[in-house]
Amino acid sequence: MNDPARRDSGSADPAPEETAPEVPEKAAYDTVEEAVRAQLSKALGGARGVVEAAIPTIGFTVSWIVTKELKLSLGIGAALAVVLLLVRLAQRSTVQFVLNSIFGIAIAALFALRSGKAQDAFLPGIIYNAGYAAALLLSIVVRWPLVGFIIGSVTGDPTAWHRDREIVRLCSRLTWLLLIPCLVRVAVQYPLYLAGHVAWLGAAKVVMGWPLQVAGLAAMVWLLARGRTPLDRPAS
């Protein structure tokens, strides 16, 4: 007669191995302000990306002032952008921001060569700033400020930030600080475009490019440095 105890002990399944408790990964950002600062810096490409965006415009403008040759000036601006691209490739660093510059030069050349007027090289930038300002203003009016989606890209939930009034208010202020430089550029450059002042347009585009952007970012950093809004993430 079989011993039930022995049969049970022989057929018993081995005890499952104990597993170490999972340790949650440390969040990359702890506050809304920290996340926005990091994402804005990434979007602009840092100081180098800003400088690279200005070099082709400077080359085009100086060449036009000296030679008054539209095709030559556009060629010099494009050549400078290509040189910047080759440097990036040689260093095996990201080419995203140089490619943006080359794309901008290509669109500017298309406008200018089609009309034969040097000032038309600056028209796409004016149109872009006007359209971007309109989109930013609309996002503020409907209470879905564009900067808020930066928060969503960090948390993994693109719309959860909108449930917090304080975050919506903060993002609206930050979006205004992105909007104002666009309005200033259009207000200054469009009259210069209508008057055909190419040299002044070039100077305005450079001065109101990275310096104005840096001023806007400085204001954003100042605003962000004042707050410590917790960055909530969805539970895993």
pLDDT tens column, 176-219: 988 999 999 999 999 999 999 998 998 888 888 767 776 777 78
> Please, what is the Cα angle at 136 between 132 and 139, to 5 degrees?
140
Residue where the block lists tokens 């700033």? 129
Give 154's contacts (C-beta < 8 A, 6+ positions apart).
Answer: 28, 29, 35, 39, 231
Judge contact between 223 and 174, C-beta under 8 A.
yes
Query: What pLDDT, on the 0 to 100 scale, is given for residue 119?
Result: 92
Residue 42 binned pLDDT confidence (cut-offs 50, 70, 90):
low
Give 202's contacts (C-beta < 8 A, 6+ positions apart).
Answer: 57, 58, 60, 61, 62, 64, 65, 122
Per-residue pLDDT tens over the stretch 91-137: 888 887 788 878 888 998 999 999 999 999 999 999 999 999 999 99
Residue 47 binned pLDDT confidence (cut-offs 50, 70, 90):
low
- What share of the chain in percent tops pLDDT 70? 73
For residues 56 and 76, what is the distance between their CA atoms, to the nearest angstrom? 8
In this predicted structure, the answer to whether residue 164 has a pLDDT above a threshold of 70 is: yes
pTM for this entry: 0.69
For residues 173 and 84, what is the distance between their CA atoms, to the nearest angstrom? 35
Domain ranges of the chain: 47-116, 118-226
Give the residue ranges of DSSP H helices in the chain: 4-11, 32-44, 46-67, 70-91, 96-115, 123-141, 148-155, 165-195, 198-207, 210-225
Residue environment code for 139-164, b if the CB has 16+ CB neighbours within 10 A, otherwise e? bbeeebbbbbbbbeebbeeeebbbeb
Mean pLDDT of the chain: 78
Sign of CA dihedral 118, 121, 125, 131: positive
- Pick from 159, 185, 171: nearest CA to 57: 185
Q: Where is average pLDDT lowest: 41-55, 136-150, 174-188?
A: 41-55
Q: What are 143's two structure tokens?
A: 């209470």
Query: What pLDDT, on the 0 to 100 scale, is given for residue 103?
Result: 87
In this predicted structure, the answer to whether residue 157 has a pLDDT above a threshold of 50 is: yes
In this predicted structure, the answer to whether residue 33 has a pLDDT above a threshold of 70 is: no
Longest dimension (CA), the chain: 111
Residue 38 binned pLDDT confidence (cut-offs 50, 70, 90):
low
